Amino acid sequence: MQIPMLLQHCLLLSSLLFSLQQLPTYAAPKHYIVYLGSHHAEPRLLASPETITKSHHDLISSVLRSDSESSSERIIYSYNRYIMALLQHYTKKEANELSKHPSVVSIFESRILESTTTRSADFLGLHYPPSNLEDSIWHKANLGDDIILANIDSGVWPEIQSFSDDENYGPIPKKFKGACENKYDPTFKCNRKLIGARYFYKAMEKNSNLQENCTFNQKLSPRDDTDGHGTHTLSTAGGSIVPFASWGGLANGTAIGMAPKARLVAYKTNWNVQCPTFKTIGSNEIDVMAAFEAAIDDGVDVINYSQASNNSAYLDDGTGIATFHAMKNGILTIAGAGNSGPNAGTAANNYPWVLSVGASTIDRVFSAHVLLGNNQKIKGTRFYDFVSKVDVPSELYPLITGADARISGANVSDASLCQGGSIDVTKVTGKILVCRNAGRIVAKDETLASVVARDAGAVGMIFVYEEKIGDGFTLSQFHAVNTIVLSYKDGETLFSYINSTRTPTASISGVTNTLGVKPSPIMGSFSSRGPNQNNPGILKPDVTAPGVDILAACPPEIFQSSYCMKTGTSMATPHVAGIAALIKKVHPDWSTAAIKSAIMTTASPLDNDGMPIRDSNKTSDATPFAYGSGHVKPNMAMDPGLVYDMNQYDYLNFICAYPPESTTLKEFSQQHSYKCPRSFNILDFNYPSISIVNFTGNAIVTRKLKNVGPPGTYVPRIEPPPGVSIMVEPKTLVFSQKDQIIVFKLILTADINHLSTDYIFGSLVWSDAKHVVRSPIIVKAKNK
């Protein structure tokens, strides 16, 4: 059966989730996303959602012709407004058969996705109440009043004061069409601040049922009862003003989101899955796409997405498809670059229509000291215990490493990391347990080791990160005992002392809180780095923002406090989402690309000492592969002067250039079809940063700048990459009116035989003496 031509154009990023009752013993069950098409541009030709859903059922029935189940039993989600319908499949043969249908654009297996304050606002130049009103984005944006900020994450804990509507909020914006889904949790209440909350679980539930002996046994509610991730990120982006917030006395001050008067909506996609040997927290890609579909239909303005993508081909990636449709509907998605650093090529969410964010420090440091028995003092990072209430081990206690406390028969590596079942309780009781990671940066290692230490009767724990992680900043986590975290170099000092004596002892000092620390920011060692593995012609991440030791709201039932500290690009991302919401309030007519450009071109590559941002080792300079265009500057971003603007067709041209994408991209177009141009040069793609790979010694880059400020004359300042000469045409840009667009070219030349084969960096700045419009330049010579 052929689906009517009209419906082919009306099907949203359609995908269908189905299952077969008769499962061959050789076939492993899998979920697939089947991507069909997009709405027609003209409303009068748009089919009803019910009609579109029926066409999805007809498609499954006609192609697979299975009598074992009805199509309604096979379909988990049938999205029929903007994005998709989703399907579960069991064999490659059936997937291949479905992929041949003329209405199917692509079919790909769904995946599980992982999640990636009192001081950070001040550090970003946002002071409450605003002191200089003309230069304050908080003043100009009225703190983001009535902008609808969405968060796709683990839900929210609504009773926390950050989500209170006590601050005289007006009626809920009329454009909002969402809901507060509390059928199974009547204690969950929305208000005029937290105006909506929904949950998406079906694919995660079915996926857990496909795993042997795994269970999905959770209350169906948008309440954040997994790990507090969504509560933390949502309050960072748009939490209300809460004085006297702290985490057990740490970071005492006023907790305030980046857009504190924004209206908030939580979409829960992260769930716990319990298995006999492990527990996992994550999202199924199918549920995530469902949440994006709902957010678009609900009428949100900005989406925060603090989860990692899979960096697949653009039409084989559910997150890429969903975020594209959000952009097409005027919604900018801000996403985390991931926590897989500092290795190169690890950056996630590399779609050019998404603003991706790395993580760096603020000018506040929490520290404590380990005093060794030989009077040596080692500085580290420290967090108090809120569960066992054990006093700080300020007296000298015996030290023992996990390896030395190994239970008979346990793996040495497991014992070194202090993993469960590897430690002999009789050897640890009354001592400080020393654990070291195995050359990986897994934040939960700290938490799990602290639980083992507590259960073994330890009075405290010292957790050491190995050299592979670098000597930068570790991921702050909740600890079950008093814990101090040491970097590799300091850990070597500790182990040297332990090995020098038969009776090593130590004490742990109380924590100190230092503000105004210089240099700041410094890149987090965990923050994922470029180059972009999807397309090195696009620099990723785009910017960096505060993501280390961020205080924000947390579920009190999990953290014994309504506020806690977390670290990761997940924490950096909502800072930028809140800034984007503020810009949207000041400039409601700006495109998503214009907002993104404003944030990127006003970001700074310098720290608070006026020197280049340092990498996590604190000695070498970071590169744009760590910080993108630089550290965000919200007050400057509201008045960038010029922007690199784009629309969906510019992004379509970009996609067209990269096989195996279709040459006719009707699935991404509001038209009946979109014909790719005969030629497309990535060097002409109007991205705010400039990347040239496979450089042969000559290249011409074309860009267009749009004036969003007063008339003015902009002159260039170029810092070329080493060994490269750059000329700009024209020499000046003279804008006589607002919204005027001027094209310029960069002409790059070099002696390729004497050029480094590694990536080299420079920059271009356009300035009218008030505005600074900066673009990093990245060049990689073609292999000789």
Of the candidates 40, 106, 120, 153, the residue annotated as catalytic is 153
Residue by residue, what is the 3-state secondary structure of 251-312?
A: EEEEECCCCCCCEEEEEECCEEEECCCCEEEEEEHHHHHHHHHHHHHHCCCEEEECECCCCC
User: With contact defined as beta carbons under 8 Å apart, do 365 and 663 qualify?
Assistant: no
Active-site residue, from 40, 56, 89, 229: 229
Alpha-carbon distance of 7 to 709, in angstroms, equals 44
Which alpha helices (DSSP H) does 329-396 contain, by range?
none
Q: Is 639 a catalytic residue?
A: no
User: Exposed (0-12), middle (13-18) or buried (19+): which is 81, by Cβ within 10 Å?
Assistant: middle
Euclidean distance between CA atoms 705 and 771, whole angstroms: 13
Verify whether residue 570 is a known catalytic residue. Answer: yes
631 DSSP assignment = B
Residue 691 catalytic?
Answer: no
| Residue 718 burial class via C-beta count within 10 angstroms: exposed 0-12, middle 13-18, buried 19 and up | middle
Please report, for residues 298, 391, 583, 632, 648, the alpha-carbon distance to residue 586 in angstroms, rounded to integers and kept in the order given: 22, 50, 5, 17, 23
Residue 618, Cβ density class (10 Å: 0-12 exposed, 13-18 middle, ≥19 buried): middle
Run of H or E residues at 776: strand 772-781
Structure tokens at 611: 């020197």
Instruction: Return the SS3 of 672.
Output: coil
End-to-end CA distance of the chain, in Å?
54
Place of tokens 């450009």: 597
The neighbour count for residue 765, using CB atoms within 10 Å, is 16
Contact (Cβ atoms closer than 8 angstroms) between residue 375 and residue 467: no
Q: What is the spatial distance between Cα 495 and Cα 323, in angstroms, rounded to a whole number? A: 48
- Indicate the length of the chain as a whole number: 784
What single DSSP character describes residue 77? E
Question: Pairing between strand 483-486 and 460-464?
Answer: parallel
Nearest Cα to 548, choosing from 390, 441, 437?
A: 441
> Exposure of 388 by Cβ count < 10 A (0-12 exposed, 13-18 middle, 19+ buried)?
middle
Active-site entry in 570, 591, 616, 691: 570
Spatial distance between the Cα atoms of 670 and 89, rounded to a whole number of angstroms: 29
The 10 Å Cβ neighbour count of residue 112 is 15
- Active-site amino acid positions: 153, 229, 570
